[in-house]
Homo-oligomer: A and B are copies of this chain.
Amino acid sequence: MFENNLNSENCFDLYETSFVPEQEITTGSNYMFGNGYMGYRGTHPDATKENYAACIVTDTYDNADGKWQELCNVPNGLYLDIVVNGQKVSAFGDSLSHYKRRIDIETAKLTNEFSTDDVAISVERFASMDQIHILSMRLVLRAKQTCDVVVTTGINGDVWSINGEHFSEYNLSEVNGGLLMHSVTKELHTDIYVAEKAVFQCGAEVKENIDIGDKQVFRKVAAKLTPETPLVLEKFVAIYSSNDTDNPKELALDNLASVQKDGYQNAAEKHDIRWQALWDKYDIKIAGNDRDQTLTRFNLYHNIIHTPTHALLPIGARGLSCQAYQGAAFWDQEVFNLPMYLYTDPEIARNVLRYRYETLNGARRKARKLGYRGAFYAWISGKTGDELCPDFFFKDIVSGRKIRNHFNCWQIHVSPDVAYTIWKYYEVTGDKEFLHQYGAEMMLDISLFLLSRSFYNVDKDRYEYIRLLGPDEYHENVDNNIFTNYQARYTLQKTIEVYEQLTKENPSQLAALMNKLDISEETVNTFRHMIEKMYIQPINENGVIEQFDGYFGLEDVTPEELATRLIDKAEYWGWPNGVAVHTQVLKQADLVQLFVMHDDFDEDVVKANFDYYEPRTEHGSSLSPAMHSVIASKIGYDDFAYRYFVKSCTVDLYNTNKAISGGTFIGGIHTASCGAVWQMVVFGFAGFSVSDDTLHFKPALPAEWDECSFRVNHKANIVDVKMSRECIVLEGHKQNMAALRIDIGGHGMMLEPGQSVSR
């Protein structure tokens, strides 16, 4: 048992034995299950929209209120209501004799147990990783003494939705002994089919009837149960939308019939096997610290279940845990979620990067709209890649006046962040087919954007970026933000590499591309000139790099003192006139972020900058602590590294912040910090990086752990890594195709297939 009502049986689960109503929103997210196609919140079996029950489905974007496009919370096919002797029995009940909610992380199954004096109830639910359109539920209801029981299940279309009611119609029917709900979204007229089939088994006689309402279709089952005649309900729900397929109704019914035929037990086993394969790739095993083992797996689990792999779709900033942040990708996707996949399962990264390729036209439209050429990826990127972030969406809570945010126009680093990840993907896979077919076009068009957004300062003979918003969002409207300029130069460098590769290897494809993108030789030469003349903030006499022009001249105050200047604790610290704007206090440290992504800075520079920026960072972003952990590890600040590790791992688990603010739901899983757990362990504690086809390790195992092991992949070669306090052991898989160059703390060695090395 650790903090915040959290327990674990086997370090591969979380459970609670009491319900804390104040944390209902948070626990609904933390206990959720999902499979990348859909996310089902871990609320109680009888939860409704009042309890933030939700089943969020990918690729159901719809704008219902004229303002926000978001994923739909589809009709709830797992609706459940239990009445015993005329009284509702609920997991929310305050006089339960037994209560337990447990998410099995290993197999992504949620179990709810709750008992009264009359009955004992157990409900298991999961979203199949084998059949991703299928939700499954198994209810076992045992009477302790003879009871009249009525169980209602079916499909409830009366769902929670943050920004308006998405469905304009509901068509309800009984089909093949099951229930079917066809709803149609308001904006884009997407058809959504939810089909369910429930099978009751019971020793006692059972009376069934169907109850069809406006938005609900339910099956009601009544029985007089005795202790000897438990009632078992096994049901499946199939969900398809017309964005998934041209015949969603047929597929829903077919899929449902097929899984139904196979039975609940087989479905669960197939699902478990899929999960076993995932953990083989992604698991990080920690010996000697059960809490940290559990925290780590919790975060890995969420990075998995929120990543769509079935289609070219984004990883949402809140994943599939709710509708917040519009089910849309931010730069978080490339920089926080993808590294785990890049080094363990690069096909997944490829898929997400292909989503960026599919949305190139949206990025181009955004660039045109703002007067630029090339591809300017959206700050909030949904299905089409068009910018979903409106100019005005939050308010100054002191004056009540709307605030013009500039995330959508000044945060230009999103585009080079995509290019950076394309190149990283290429580095770890050597996948030239992807690079040439998709990457080159994206990189050239991003570089074109970077050119058209840049200015040449004639007087200083350098290229500059003016009016930026870096990762540190407390400082808008800044110039030459080091993170942005560095990423831009890197992008241009790698674009020239791709260009030169294509010049040699595929000149006709290159010519076609240059023609399509309207990029001339002269433009390529300008790219080269930009690389040469890009202004990168210098390292000052103390080894510190100024985050942007003029930063050092801002008021130097601690985040703690700054907090005392707040008029209202809930006010925004940034633009236009928040407390941090004219100070050195950061939301997150751009330089720390940069060091995670680029290892070409000397360690003393990294250290000097960490020393400077860390005390000035407020960590107002959940992205911040993890990056501090990684860099603290690298510079030998083990205490910092571990402290930030715990802070980052518990962003969701220990979250006691309000998840609703000013009537707006802002809760849900912080998928970026979930993805970052892998970086903290592998990049941070193991000191892993790849350069020039060499796998570098520089272990710094936390004092709190005995051992830690994980798996990495380089160009389809797999390496199992195990670190203890004494040594690190690397084992090359037998199937590896080549020996790998390894560097451990400066000592080079070769790792042959089927062999191991250690130090």
* A contact residues vs B (CB 8 Å cutoff): 371, 373, 392, 396, 398-401, 403-404, 451-452, 454-460, 464, 466-467, 477, 526, 549, 567, 575-577, 581-582
What B residues does A401 contact at CB under 8 A?
567, 577
What B residues does A455 contact at CB under 8 A?
455-458, 464, 466
- In the complex, which of the residues B459, B464, B567 contacts A451, with contact meaning CB atoms closer than 8 Å? B459
- In the complex, which of the residues B451, B526, B577 contacts A576, with contact meaning CB atoms closer than 8 Å? B577
By secondary structure, the A interface counts as loop
Give the distance to chain B from A280, nearest Cβ to Cβ, in Å. 49
5 nearest A-B residue pairs (beta carbon)? A455-B455, A576-B576, A452-B459, A456-B456, A398-B399
> Is the CB–CB distance between B526 and A458 below 8 Å?
yes
Give the distance to chain B from A639, nearest Cβ to Cβ, in Å. 37
What B residues does A582 contact at CB under 8 A?
392, 404
Copies, count? 2
Q: Which residue of B lies closest to A399 (CB)?
A: B398
Beyond known contacts A392-B582, A396-B577, A404-B582: 13 more, CB 8 A cutoff: A373-B459, A399-B399, A400-B567, A401-B567, A451-B458, A452-B460, A455-B455, A455-B456, A455-B466, A456-B456, A456-B457, A466-B467, A576-B576
What B residues does A392 contact at CB under 8 A?
582
In whole angstroms, how far apart are the Cα atoms of A455 and B457 in the complex? Answer: 5
> Is the CB–CB distance between B577 and A403 below 8 Å?
yes
What B residues does A575 contact at CB under 8 A?
576
Q: Which has the most chain B C-beta neighbours within 10 Å: A458, A464, A581, A582? A: A458
Give the distance to chain B from A237, nearest Cβ to Cβ, in Å. 47
> Is the CB–CB distance between B454 and A456 below 8 Å?
no
Q: Which residue of B lies closest to A454 (CB)?
A: B458
In whole angstroms, how far apart are the Cα atoms of A371 and B451 in the complex? Answer: 24
What B residues does A467 contact at CB under 8 A?
466-467, 477
What B residues does A399 contact at CB under 8 A?
396, 398-399, 567, 577
In whole angstroms, how far apart are the Cα atoms of A577 and B582 in the complex? Answer: 15
What B residues does A526 contact at CB under 8 A?
458
In whole angstroms, how far apart are the Cα atoms of A500 and B371 in the complex? Answer: 38
In whole angstroms, how far apart are the Cα atoms of A451 and B456 in the complex? Answer: 12
Give the distance to chain B from A468, nearest Cβ to Cβ, in Å. 12
Q: Which has the most chain B C-beta neighbours within 10 Å: A399, A581, A582? A: A399
Q: Which residue of B lies closest to A523 (CB)?
A: B459
In whole angstroms, how far apart are the Cα atoms of A458 and B458 in the complex? Answer: 11
Q: Which residue of B lies closest to A370 (CB)?
A: B550
In whole angstroms, how far apart are the Cα atoms of A577 and B460 in the complex? Answer: 33
Give the distance to chain B from A561, nearest Cβ to Cβ, in Å. 16
What B residues does A403 contact at CB under 8 A?
577
Q: Which residue of B lies closest to A576 (CB)?
A: B576
Q: Which residue of B lies closest to A530 (CB)?
A: B458
Give the distance to chain B from A467, nearest Cβ to Cβ, in Å. 7
> Is the CB–CB distance between B456 and A458 below 8 Å?
yes
In whole angstroms, how far apart are the Cα atoms of A152 and B403 in the complex? Answer: 60
In whole angstroms, how far apart are the Cα atoms of A451 and B459 in the complex? Answer: 7
In whole angstroms, how far apart are the Cα atoms of A593 and B314 in the complex? Answer: 50
In whole angstroms, how far apart are the Cα atoms of A399 and B396 in the complex? Answer: 10
21 residue pairs from A and B, CB less than 8 Å apart? A396-B577, A398-B398, A398-B399, A399-B399, A399-B567, A399-B577, A400-B567, A403-B577, A451-B458, A451-B459, A452-B460, A454-B459, A455-B457, A456-B457, A456-B458, A458-B526, A466-B466, A467-B467, A477-B477, A575-B576, A576-B577
Give the distance to chain B from A95, nearest Cβ to Cβ, in Å. 49
What B residues does A452 contact at CB under 8 A?
459-460
Give the distance to chain B from A581, nearest Cβ to Cβ, in Å. 8
In whole angstroms, how far apart are the Cα atoms of A460 and B458 in the complex? Answer: 15
What B residues does A581 contact at CB under 8 A?
404
Give the distance to chain B from A119, nearest Cβ to Cβ, in Å. 57
In whole angstroms, how far apart are the Cα atoms of A400 and B398 in the complex? Answer: 10
Q: Which residue of B lies closest to A571 (CB)?
A: B399
What B residues does A458 contact at CB under 8 A?
451, 454-456, 526
In whole angstroms, how far apart are the Cα atoms of A677 and B396 in the complex? Answer: 42
Q: Which residue of B lies closest to A549 (CB)?
A: B371
Q: Which has the most chain B C-beta neighbours within 10 Å: A373, A392, A398, A575? A: A398
In whole angstroms, how far apart are the Cα atoms of A521 and B414 in the complex? Answer: 41
In whole angstroms, how far apart are the Cα atoms of A371 and B466 in the complex? Answer: 14
In whole angstroms, how far apart are the Cα atoms of A457 and B458 in the complex? Answer: 10
What B residues does A460 contact at CB under 8 A?
452
What B residues does A549 contact at CB under 8 A?
371
In whole angstroms, how far apart are the Cα atoms of A399 and B452 in the complex? Answer: 39
What B residues does A466 contact at CB under 8 A?
455, 466-467
Give the distance to chain B from A368, nearest Cβ to Cβ, in Å. 13
In whole angstroms, how far apart are the Cα atoms of A261 and B575 in the complex? Answer: 67
In whole angstroms, how far apart are the Cα atoms of A457 and B454 in the complex? Answer: 7
Give the distance to chain B from A532, nearest Cβ to Cβ, in Å. 13
Give the distance to chain B from A402, nearest Cβ to Cβ, in Å. 8
What B residues does A396 contact at CB under 8 A?
399, 577
Give the distance to chain B from A577, nearest Cβ to Cβ, in Å. 5
In whole angstroms, how far apart are the Cα atoms of A451 and B458 in the complex? Answer: 8
What B residues does A567 contact at CB under 8 A?
399-401
Q: Which residue of B lies closest to A458 (CB)?
A: B456
In whole angstroms, how far apart are the Cα atoms of A576 and B401 in the complex? Answer: 11
What B residues does A456 contact at CB under 8 A?
455-458
Q: Which residue of B lies closest to A466 (CB)?
A: B466
Give the distance to chain B from A748, nearest Cβ to Cβ, in Å. 43
Give the distance to chain B from A439, nearest Cβ to Cβ, in Å. 23
In whole angstroms, how far apart are the Cα atoms of A119 and B410 in the complex? Answer: 74
What B residues does A477 contact at CB under 8 A?
467, 477
Give the distance to chain B from A629, nearest Cβ to Cβ, in Å. 34
Give the distance to chain B from A336, nearest Cβ to Cβ, in Å. 31
In whole angstroms, how far apart are the Cα atoms of A400 and B577 in the complex? Answer: 11
Give the distance to chain B from A120, nearest Cβ to Cβ, in Å. 57
In whole angstroms, how far apart are the Cα atoms of A181 and B455 in the complex? Answer: 60
Give the distance to chain B from A409, nearest Cβ to Cβ, in Å. 10
Give the distance to chain B from A239, nearest Cβ to Cβ, in Å. 41
Give the distance to chain B from A562, nearest Cβ to Cβ, in Å. 13
Give the distance to chain B from A692, nearest Cβ to Cβ, in Å. 33
Give the distance to chain B from A392, nearest Cβ to Cβ, in Å. 8
What B residues does A371 contact at CB under 8 A?
549
In whole angstroms, how far apart are the Cα atoms of A404 and B476 in the complex? Answer: 14
Give the distance to chain B from A400, nearest Cβ to Cβ, in Å. 8
Q: Which residue of B lies closest to A582 (CB)?
A: B404
Give the distance to chain B from A576, nearest Cβ to Cβ, in Å. 4
Q: Which residue of B lies closest to A567 (CB)?
A: B399
Give the distance to chain B from A447, nearest Cβ to Cβ, in Å. 12
Give the distance to chain B from A171, nearest Cβ to Cβ, in Å. 42
What B residues does A400 contact at CB under 8 A?
567
Q: Which residue of B lies closest to A374 (CB)?
A: B459
Give the distance to chain B from A155, nearest Cβ to Cβ, in Å. 44
Q: Which residue of B lies closest to A479 (CB)?
A: B467
Q: Which residue of B lies closest to A578 (CB)?
A: B401
In whole angstroms, how far apart are the Cα atoms of A16 and B404 in the complex? Answer: 50
In whole angstroms, how far apart are the Cα atoms of A403 and B576 in the complex? Answer: 10
